[in-house]
Amino acid sequence: MAKRKLLVNHVYYRPVGHALEGLKFARGFLAANKNLEIHLALNKKTPTELAAGAPWLKKVYPIDLDEVAKKGKKAACVAKIPKEWDYIVTNYSPRSEYKDAKTLDPEAEGLVRYLDIVDNVLVSHNSRGAIYNRTELPKSLKYRRTKLTLEVPRKAKTFARRYRFNGLKICMLLGGSAGPKYYPAIGSWEKVIRALNAEFPGLRVYVTGVSRQKAGRTVTKAYSKEGIQELIGKFDNVVDCYDIGLWNQVALLQECDLLIAPHSGFAFLASCVGRPWLALSGGNWPEYFFNETPFYSVLPDDPYFPYHCVGRYGDDNVAKMKRKHIPSFEPRRFERRIPEIVKGVKLLLDKRFTYERALEWNKKNIAKCNCIKSRLMTKETI
């Protein structure tokens, strides 16, 4: 019997995390349905090569949103998508996000036009579904939350062997793709590393990130190259792993015992290769990508976190702030969290600290935090 064909339309923004969300949704449909062939559409500027780690996926369609904004359904990237499907499920979020916008940048315009194309050009033989409203899926299409595991290519694993070390290994991502005000200061990171060194003698730290933009993708732009080199140079046990390539970074993560990082799409990768994430929470978004893997969120003392809920520290407002950091990461405020960072590492290194226990700890920490509790996640959402 021929397999039924599903197109998962998760064409969204560029950060790494949105590619992983698309892959995790696709995996959830595969887990819940028999005889299903899954195809995935993603933003071309997100790391679509991560789909190589999901061999169960039939095909990926990279969508060039700039081209879609200009040419609509005549865009070459759209023409490559088969027109007929048994099922189509789509991320319709941009429609609500931009419904009141008077002007749109090319990427946003491309997103909105792409959604119109999906609805008007592509044919589904069953009712259509919305990814984030799974109560309206076609009756014959099921979804089950399940863990996303990526298979790391052999070449990347071979590369990562050069970082092997017989002792505790921690991977660190200092910041994500937002501006420098959204992440800890270099001086604060130095204090974090010194505290970890004091608690874990023989530790090795691998600092990673991306300083050079490629094909319009996001970069780690919170720190200058000189600042990073100065930080690394202060320690004998800190290794520079910047700009080594995405799959090599994933393989490095797999070689390490855990990841310490603020909220970023890259941080989601840790759980996809079975490694815990100690999240330095703060900024616009709460942690929600748990992926059935132990984690620990060090929550800020910040009544406006997560900021996207209140609009107080949106990107425009942050750019106008006279202070160097958002409240969550002001040095004195953030550095009071360092003892909890050390405690979180201890918990994540304990084999008894299971995913279920991590959820319990997270729920208790949320209950006592000075944040917007109602907007923090206590369970898996994807």
Residue 314 above 60 pLDDT? no
Task: Report residue 159's pLDDT band, with 50, 70 and 90 as the boundaries.
Answer: very high
What's the predicted TM-score (pTM) here? 0.94
* 8 A C-beta contact, residue 326 and residue 188: no
> Does domain 4-136 fall into CATH 1.10.150?
no
* pLDDT computed for residue 219 by the predictor: 75
- Tens of pLDDT, residue by residue over 31-44, are 999 999 999 999 99
Q: How far is CA 369 from CA 110, 205, 264, 283, 309, in A?
A: 39, 29, 21, 15, 16
* 8 A C-beta contact, residue 185 and residue 325: yes
* pLDDT computed for residue 310 by the predictor: 53
Beta carbons within 8 Å of 180's beta carbon, 6+ residues apart: 221, 222, 223, 324, 325
* pLDDT computed for residue 311 by the predictor: 52
* pLDDT computed for residue 6 by the predictor: 98
User: What strands lie across the sheet with 169-173, from one edge to the other?
Assistant: 238-242, 204-209, 169-173, 258-262, 277-280, 295-298
Residue 297 above 80 pLDDT? yes
The helix (H) or strand (E) run that includes residue 298 is strand 295-298
* pLDDT computed for residue 97 by the predictor: 87
| Number of C-beta neighbours around residue 288 at 10 A | 16
SS3 279: strand
* pLDDT computed for residue 103 by the predictor: 87
* Lowest mean pLDDT segment, chosen from 63-72, 179-188, 219-228, 295-304: 219-228
For residue 206, list its beta bridge partners. Answer: 171, 239
Q: What is the mean pLDDT of residues 146-155?
A: 98
Task: Report residue 212's pLDDT band, with 50, 70 and 90 as the boundaries.
Answer: confident
Domain with CATH 3.40.50.2000 in the chain: 154-375
* Lowest mean pLDDT segment, chosen from 3-7, 197-201, 305-309: 305-309
* 8 A C-beta contact, residue 376 and residue 286: yes
Residue 113 above 80 pLDDT? yes
Residue 316 above 60 pLDDT? no
Give the dihedral sign, CA 289/158/346/335. negative
Residue 319 above 60 pLDDT? no
Average pLDDT, the chain: 93
- Tens of pLDDT, residue by residue over 82-94, are 999 999 999 999 9
Q: What percentage of residues in the chain have a pLDDT greater than 90?
A: 81
Q: What percentage of residues in the chain have a pLDDT greater than 70?
A: 95
CATH class of 154-375: alpha beta
Q: What is the mean pLDDT of residues 321-349?
A: 93
Task: Report residue 24's pLDDT band, with 50, 70 and 90 as the boundaries.
Answer: very high
Q: What is the mean pLDDT of residues 212-241?
A: 86
Task: Report residue 320's pLDDT band, with 50, 70 and 90 as the boundaries.
Answer: low
Residue 315 above 70 pLDDT? no
Q: E-assigned strands of 181-276?
A: 204-209, 238-242, 258-262
| Number of C-beta neighbours around residue 52 at 10 A | 14
Q: Which of 69, 74, 250, 80 is nearest to 157 (CA)?
A: 250
Task: Report residue 309's pLDDT band, with 50, 70 and 90 as the boundaries.
Answer: low
* pLDDT computed for residue 135 by the predictor: 80
